[in-house]
Amino acid sequence: MRYCQRCVCPENYAIPLTFDEQGVCSACRVHEEKESIDWKERENKLRTILDKYRSTNGKNYDCIIPVSGGKDSHYQTYLIKVIYGMNPLLVTFNHEMNTKRGLRNLTNLVKRFELDHLRFTPNPAAIKKLSIYTIRRMGDMFWHSHCGIYTYPVQIAVKYNIPLIIWGEQGFMDLGGMFSHFDMVEMTKKFRVEHGLRGYDWQDMLSEENDITPKDLFWAMYPTDQEIDRVDVRGIYLGNFIPWNHKIQTELMIKKYGFESGPPHRSFNLYENVEDHVSNGLNDYLRYLKFGYGRATDHASIDIRFGRMSREQGIAMVEKYDHQEPYDLDIYLKWTGLVKKDLFEAVEKMRDRQAWKKISSGDWKLIDSITNHLDDPGVEVSRLPLNPDSYYILQPNPPLPEPKEYQFM
């Protein structure tokens, strides 16, 4: 397989990448745009948009911020409330695979920024059925979370007549370079289904055999075109207006607002995905079983683009973390009643044969990884004398104990 010559992304990356003649991927090239953009002008554009939606009669919220309680939720809320003086409604879809720390962060967010907050918890029994179904169907145990996050805030926009939804960074732009900063993409119904939900909508989840009916999925139903038109719903990404830099932003939120970072889980990055067990854990491990790479590849690639890590250090992080078995595997098995073999069987047909080979014992062997490509020339951005395992701050330190189960509420 080919690997980006600057970061550590493989050619079978889940967000489709392209490589240029130097072997540098589209995500790295889109990242370079951050250097040439006139951010002052972008910020002025943002202020103009916010002013347009600011409630003039004081009878409604100015906007919605979808929040999980993670680092970006804190930073989005900080910008919108503190810097730009808006009155947002915070909206959370409860994915139910919460860490204790994630819940503390969510509470912290609402209390510290003194805002109204609406949180929707779907029926846990329905979520369990859905998670088992989606793991078998697409090797994804967390589809319900993506669906809820991309749907529920839009339902609330329609119900409460709040046209403006403010999202954080555009993940497919930052992680995969699928869009440019010059496209000024906004959140749409098409993006939600094609990318956010892997092409599956709620109707595709109905299953007699698994007893999944429409009443399990009201929260997953995107408003109609007429409803969207009536309220004139619009979803903007702050990453198009503000030069997004998660490490600096998160450290500001730790210092100023008490955001808690998390202990390492299959990555050196202690700021990302603190709020749930599975994004760095089992759900990402399933990606590793399918494609041969995992979360440390994402995190190292981002840090390489920012010049915080050399490619060599990034490869060392991939080698150290991507294959690690997640601690939440047991939590999930206990919750669902599945056995480990079921999970491996579910992803068996999705194994990318470029990365994996079935050996005579019946086990799978990783045959292609960036660690097999150490002779590639590589295009270095920087080579810093930093240890990536220590430059993320664990706060509070030492970590508070995590219960070994999901926190549904």
Write out the residues near Zn ion by the rule CB under 5 A. Answer: 4, 6-7, 9, 25, 28
* Residue in the block written with tokens 């910020």: 43
How far, in Å, are 69, 193, 289 from residue 13 at the CA level? 27, 19, 13
We find the least distance from the C-beta atom of residue 54 to Zn ion, in angstroms, to be: 39
Which residues does residue 407 pair with via DSSP β-bridges, in sequence order? 98
We find the least distance from the C-beta atom of residue 301 to Zn ion, in angstroms, to be: 6
- Tell me whether residue 235 or residue 378 sits nearer to Zn ion (CB atom): 378
- Tell me whether residue 24 or residue 118 sits nearer to Zn ion (CB atom): 24
The torsion angles phi and psi of 165, rounded to 5 degrees, stand at: -115, 130
- Tell me whether residue 28 or residue 217 sits nearer to Zn ion (CB atom): 28
Q: Which two tokens stand for residue 276?
A: 């749930």
- Tell me whether residue 77 or residue 301 sits nearer to Zn ion (CB atom): 301
- Tell me whether residue 32 or residue 405 sits nearer to Zn ion (CB atom): 32
Question: Which residues in 85-98 are b (16+ Cβ under 10 Å) and which e?
Answer: ebebbbbbbbbbbb
Q: Counting every residue, how long is the chain?
A: 409
- Tell me whether residue 4 or residue 132 sits nearer to Zn ion (CB atom): 4
Name the region of 394 (left: φ>0; alpha: ψ -120 to 50; beta: rest).
Answer: beta
Angle (nearest 5°) at CA 311 between 307 and 313: 95
We find the least distance from the C-beta atom of residue 30 to Zn ion, in angstroms, to be: 10
We find the least distance from the C-beta atom of residue 24 to Zn ion, in angstroms, to be: 6
Distance CA 297, CA 148 (A): 26
Provide the 8-state DSSP code for 308.
Answer: S
We find the least distance from the C-beta atom of residue 28 to Zn ion, in angstroms, to be: 3
Distance CA 212, CA 197 (A): 17
- Tell me whether residue 6 or residue 74 sits nearer to Zn ion (CB atom): 6
- Tell me whether residue 286 or residue 381 sits nearer to Zn ion (CB atom): 381
SS3 content of the chain, % helix, strand, coil (to 5): 45, 10, 45
Nearest to Zn ion by Cβ — which residue? 4
We find the least distance from the C-beta atom of residue 3 to Zn ion, in angstroms, to be: 8
Which alpha helices (H) appear in 120-212, and where do they start and end? Answer: 124-138, 143-159, 171-176, 189-191
Q: Which one, of 322, 234, 241, 282, lies nearest residue 13 by Cα?
A: 322
We find the least distance from the C-beta atom of residue 288 to Zn ion, in angstroms, to be: 19
**Contact (Cβ atoms closer than 8 angstroms) between residue 155 and residue 45:** no
Q: Which two tokens stand for residue 108?
A: 């912290």
We find the least distance from the C-beta atom of residue 265 to Zn ion, in angstroms, to be: 24
We find the least distance from the C-beta atom of residue 27 to Zn ion, in angstroms, to be: 5
Q: Which one, of 378, 291, 365, lies nearest residue 12 by Cα?
A: 291
- Tell me whether residue 30 or residue 67 sits nearer to Zn ion (CB atom): 30
